Amino acid sequence: MTDSELAVALLTLGCARNDVDSEELAGRLAAGGFRVVDDPEDADTVVVNTCGFVDAAKKDSIDTLLQAADLKDPAGGAHVKAVVAVGCLAERYGSELADSLPEADAVLGFDDYGDIAERLRSIVAGERPHPHTPRDRRKLLPISPAERDALPAVEERKRLSDAPWAPLKLASGCDRRCTFCAIPAFRGSFVSRRPSDVLTEAAWLARQGAREVFLVSENSTSYGKDLGDIRLLETLLPELAAVEGIDRVRVSYLQPAETRPGLVQAIATTPGVAPYFDLSFQHASNAVLRRMRRFGDPDSFLGLLEQVRSYAPEAGVRSNVIVGFPGETEDDLQTLCDFLVAARLDVTGVFGYSDEDGTEAASFDGKLDDDEIAARVRHVTDLVDGLTSDRAEERIGSTVEVLVEEHDDDGLPVGRAAHQGPEVDGTTRLTRADGVGVGDLVEAVVVGSDGVDLVAEATGGHR
């Protein structure tokens, strides 16, 4: 069998950061002689880029690996020879995952990515590499950000989607020590990419058809601190917006305690940058936040939102909250609910607390039982559903610019306004097609809402 005959399919679970990783893996594999295919049944090997964030994501990753392994059954007519696990779950559990999931032919860690083509070639040939032993990746870099090297430039990336938007990695890792989060241990310490590399990749994405770039990292507010300039994102944003072919730049994952006034102003007022604030509040009770090793309270959070809306009254704001954290009292829960009412967020993800391996919170006392956590999640979710529907209704009559991503079953264009992030923040459906195609930007007036989704009527042409 020659290298050109080897086909690989990549299945991606989890967040937009994993989407970038998969496209980088696809680029390396294509450069290494593999043919990248969409359908796993057409592949010689299936690579599953797993998520290891929470229990539900872990289960989805394992289920996907098992489904891919079923394709190795000759009776099914497929010719898949190997199924390989990569990504956060593989990095986090390594040999433990390999022992518990013999259906996977290999479990590879992040250190295998640079030589992924050769690794897969040997696995397809029948070799079974020893899975790595997980380690705390924060210890692989100097503690001082000033002593760290920037992430290397991406030499290969192959788009696995034809969507008119694309994630663009701003940094990797996290230096914060939130007591509930295991991500820093397997993603490592925070490392920024050089601005020149980010700009070069943005220009490449534009040539591939992306009109919006979605800046992703574990903590975008830390960007540049290890390069000697904590305000580097403020200067990078207008440069990204000026890249030919890029019409919208969106920033993800802002840590409220680090969201400085200059960054708020840059995101809210820079032409070509979406006035969109993905603020990770996690809770509003100061007592709970301190146990999470985070900072803030309702007054400081509402002050930040007031600052945002003073620059951009129609700015989009989304967040996530954790309910049922160890020691959370009914008063703490009420503080969170009162904050959510006052905050007028566009989207809020509600998660029930669960212990994560290796986290400090897993050893805390004051644990709530599962039934109580589930009841609190239902309570907050019901509240949020009403609040976000009300917020969407407030947007009726406002003018939005919609990036069209698809057409629905009735042939009507569906996309996202500037306040709606990819995949999780709702959509805007236009009332008429009028020759609008995927990738077009259409100015429209909002005429209706359905939950967090909007209905809008085009007011002119499109570009």
Residues in the annotated binding site: 15, 51, 88, 174, 178, 181
- Helix ranges (H only) for 13-152 are 16-31, 55-70, 88-93, 95-100, 116-124
Tell me the C-alpha distance between 62 and 55, whole Å: 11
DSSP lists the bridge partners of residue 350 as 321
The residue assigned the tokens 């709702």 is 426
The residue assigned the tokens 């409220």 is 256
If 0-12 CB within 10 Å is exposed, 13-18 middle and 19+ buried, where does residue 438 land? middle
Tell me the C-alpha distance between 240 and 237, whole Å: 5
Number of Cβ within a 10 Å radius of residue 136: 12
Dig out the tokens for 461 from the structure. Answer: 């042409």
Our separate counts of H helices and E strands in the chain read 13, 18
Q: What is the dihedral of CA 13, 16, 21, 26, to 10 degrees?
A: 80
Sheet containing 106-107: order of strands: 35-37, 7-12, 45-50, 82-87, 106-107
Plot region of 43 (φ>0 → left; ψ -120 to 50 → alpha; else → beta): beta
Hey, what amino acid is at 82?
Answer: A
End-to-end CA distance of the chain: 47
Tell me the C-alpha distance between 200 and 104, whole Å: 36
Cα 130–Cα 116–Cα 194 angle in degrees, nearest 5: 120
Q: Which residues are annotated as a binding site for [4Fe-4S] cluster?
A: 15, 51, 88, 174, 178, 181
Plot region of 239 (φ>0 → left; ψ -120 to 50 → alpha; else → beta): alpha
